[in-house]
Amino acid sequence: MEIRKIKKSEWEKLQAFNAAEYKADHILTNKVYYDWQFDAPWNSDKETYETLGMFDSKGNLIGTFGLFSTPHNHRGTMILGTQLCNLIVKKELRALGYGYLLLDKASTVNKITIDHTINDSAWPMFEKSGWQKENLKRWIHIIKPDNDLYSLSASAIKPIMKNGWHFDQVSQFGEEMDEFWNRAKKRYPITLERTAEYLNWRFAKNPLVKYLMFVVKGEEKIRGLVVARSESVKNEKGPLGVKVLRIIDLIVDEDAEGFACSRIAECARENNFDFVEYFSSGAFHDQGLEAAGFENGNKGIFARLPILFNPVSFKRTSGLISLTKSLF
């Protein structure tokens, strides 16, 4: 058995494996997506994807771990970190320890390794391998109180204004974003580097997903970044007519928090969304979110809201966690 990076020349073998173990039209069978995701700009070997493959003695693919490298701010120093995505082993070979072997290999690619939003059922494997766990906090802002998904009271509308400040939608990022990030990173000691290069690759140039990208501008400079994605709620019969605005990234100066959160809620209201949600780690933006009328989605009646929308599943209303392993 061998574990190594999968060569780009092995795409047909990889595509067939993913079609068999996931489904024929799964996103991991789409070469445009795969090339973008797993041959990111920070891949040092352009002959291979960063994805790890497990091969048997005959060269057959029996397991994969999709991953990619991205720049991270680690207490003021830029390092490469590993983002983990999709781990799968052939159905007939599962529960034999092959997943542990792939995870162990993936954990040594860079000095810090991160896996976001895994479910509780996957946690034991990571725990036994020495990973650190953090439960993600869900924030909810209800705009429409009644629809085919829920019946809840609308969240309070709390506009926060700042003279001369703007909340502008953009299509790409440039030097001004790098200037903002060089200031803002001091607030976020261990996180992804939000450089223009990273943001353009991750959001502006995503081949399959259209993101809504905004910058907060005040005092003639960028004071914050908000990236969101529109999702439609569907069940097995089709769309329910419910639109969710899911905040994907939120990086702001402390005095811009409330303004940024208020404006994204207002943007959702103006564009006929039913509610806004945001999963966060840490407590960096709690005050700004609360000031803008967001509510703790992990408690009370909000905790019954599903977290999977396509298709919607009420079996998963919690359990999102973020995992980190460091070699420092």
DSSP 26-84: -GGG-HHHHHHHHS-TT-S-TTEEEEEEEE-TTS-EEEEEEEEEEEEEETTEEEEEEEE
Q: Does domain 137-317 have CATH number 3.40.630.30?
A: yes
Topology of domain 2-110, CATH? Aminopeptidase (3.40.630)
Asked if domains 2-110 and 137-317 share a fold, the reply is: yes
Going by the DSSP 8-state scheme, the letter that residue 219 receives in this structure is T
Over residues 181-218, the pLDDT tens digits come to 999 999 999 999 999 999 999 999 999 999 999 999 99
Domain ranges across the chain: 2-110, 137-317
What's the pTM value of the predicted model, to 2 decimals?
0.94
Q: What is the dihedral of CA 83, 88, 89, 94, to 10 degrees?
A: 110
Q: What is the pLDDT of residue 328?
A: 74
Q: How many CB atoms lie within 10 A of CB 313?
A: 12
Bridge partners of residue 70, in order along the sequence: 81
Mean pLDDT is lowest, of 6-15, 48-57, 123-132, 137-146, for 123-132
pLDDT tops 60 at residue 122: yes
